[in-house]
Structure 1
Amino acid sequence: MINDDPSGELLRAAARNNALWCDAVCRTHGLRPSFSAEAWTSSARTPPLYPDAVTLAPTSTVEAVRAGIDTAVPGCSVKDSFAALDLAPAGFEVLFEASWIHRARGSALPAPGRRLEWSEVATAGELDAWEAAWSGEGAGGLFRPALLDQDLVFLAGRAAGRVVAGAVASAGGGVVGVSNLFAADDADTDETWAAVLAAADARWPALPVVGYEAGDDLAAALRAGFAPLGRLRVWLHTA
């Protein structure tokens, strides 16, 4: 792996951006997480699929993470942004690993796709339709309308008027983070990356773009011009 971030500054920015996105989602659910130099943490159980902690520095400690979360509540998880912690003695197991990715600001955009019609989600009803397509199970109220007032974009790709692809782009920490990207098939995945990168470039042209992916999703991001940035690890409390 080529190290495009020898100082680690971009990797720390990616971790903070992701923590800010998690914070925004949690606050729309009435939670009040907190930031420290070492980690973002929530003392109350977070919404489904969202961690209870995100480490913000490679020197973050197990003690600092555990102090801010409640492991007595089932489903507690920690996003170890630098794959640097050993949480097994604290009753955690590795849920998955992934690679942080980044695109330098000013990078050439991939060619736009032409199969889908793209627009930003603007209303609560559109957000419900977006979540239903993203989850494959119908809207469950995970993404609440208050998010539409934040410095972020829910992007929807439609075929015959139906949402079949999408992503979230959110500014924070000096970067734009792309998350929750989904598409019906590989062709749509490439088109979705092209669309969300174009949207990010139009709204935040001075900022690099980051995210994290694994497996086939990582391969699609690399096709879109991203480069690996570092490893992350998500832990789930099982004891």
Structure 2
Amino acid sequence: MITEAELLAHAVRNNADWCAAMCRAHGLTGTFGPRAWTSPRRAPLYYPDAVTLTEDATAADLLPGIDRTAPGASVKDSHARLDLTAEGFRLLFEAQWIHRPAPVSPLPAEGWRPVRTADDLAAWALAWSGGDADEAALFRPALLADPTTTIVAGHAADGRILGGAVLTESAGVTGISNLFTTDGVPASYAWTGALAHAAPGLPVVGYESGEDLDAALAAGFGTLGPLRVWLAR
């Protein structure tokens, strides 16, 4: 049976794989090293320029590989072990890695289906961003061709998007990220839809904080440990 330490390592790598996929969709190529993933060019909005992969990662594994010529570079400290204040960073937020057992046979969720076309992705992204076109542009059609990425959406009877999520299948787990709902729909709706599309037999992981963490725990997740995100001044 997989230990929590092993599951945390898989969750960390899975999330780094998703960050790398997002960068590739924007024409950026990151590098996986033994202790960290780094992007030599500034990563897309909301995505880190570096991710620690192991508990013993240090600033020296991260900072030389990212662009610090202007403020705004960010680092995901996956094990909450670093203090980057002396390097000119401030703590942006803290969160908890989450996990739940592998689905045995996910039940279909009514109205939920994968996003397959560029037009459907554009509609999904606008719903995710609350109608902000600049933020919606983060999700580019190249993501639809990524073999590890599945974007799913839940629809009302009239076709409106009520929720969505991104599923990343890698490192022996399914990672869930960018989970959202619209029109006051409870988060449980999105968790139900996302879990219905998770691969049978693979543990499900992700990270959340605040009320989003509460919703994940209510959906049957447990915690694996803390992470931090640092932002360069």
> Which whole-Å deviations, capped at 9, do the CAs of 1:137-175 have from their partners, x for residues lacking one?
136421111111122211111222121310011111111
Structure 1 unaligned spans of 5+: none
> Which whole-Å deviations, capped at 9, do the CAs of 1:91-139 have from their partners, x for residues lacking one?
0000000000001124686x8776xx21110100000000101011136
Q: Secondary structure at the match of 2:230?
A: strand
Query: What is the one-letter code of the residue matched to 1:206?
Result: G
Indicate conservation of the 8 Å contact 2:74/2:230, yes or no: yes
Q: Secondary structure at the match of 1:182?
A: strand
- Among 117, 126, 130, the residue aligned to 2:124: 130
Q: How many residues align?
A: 228
Distance (Å, rounded) in 2 between the aligned partners of 1:108 and 1:86? 42
1:118 aligned partner: 112
2:51 aligned partner: 54
> Which whole-Å deviations, capped at 9, do the CAs of 1:40-91 have from their partners, x for residues lacking one?
0001001111100010001101111112111123310000000000111000
1:229 aligned partner: 224
- Among 202, 210, 225, the residue aligned to 1:207: 202
- Once the two structures are TM-superposed, the CA of residue 5 in structure 1 deviates from its matched residue by 4.2
Indicate conservation of the 8 Å contact 2:162/2:185, yes or no: no
% same residue: 52
Which 10-residue stretch deviates more, 184-193 or 228-237? 184-193
1:28 aligned partner: 25
Answer yes or no: is 1:148 the counterpart of 2:144: yes
1:170 aligned partner: 168
Query: What is the one-letter code of the residue matched to 1:145?
Result: P
Query: What is the one-letter code of the residue matched to 2:169?
Result: A
Query: What is the one-letter code of the residue matched to 1:38?
Result: R
Cα distance change, pair 219–186 in 1 and its aligned pair in 2 (3 A): farther
Answer yes or no: is 1:103 the counterpart of 2:100: yes
Distance (Å, rounded) in 2 between the aligned partners of 1:108 and 1:145? 30
Indicate conservation of the 8 Å contact 1:165/1:188, yes or no: no
Q: TM-score, normalization: structure 2?
A: 0.92
Cα distance change, pair 108–88 in 1 and its aligned pair in 2 (3 A): farther
Query: What is the one-letter code of the residue matched to 1:165?
Result: G
Q: TM-score, normalization: structure 1?
A: 0.90
Distance (Å, rounded) in 1 between the aligned partners of 2:177 and 2:57? 23
Cα distance change, pair 107–85 in 1 and its aligned pair in 2 (3 A): farther
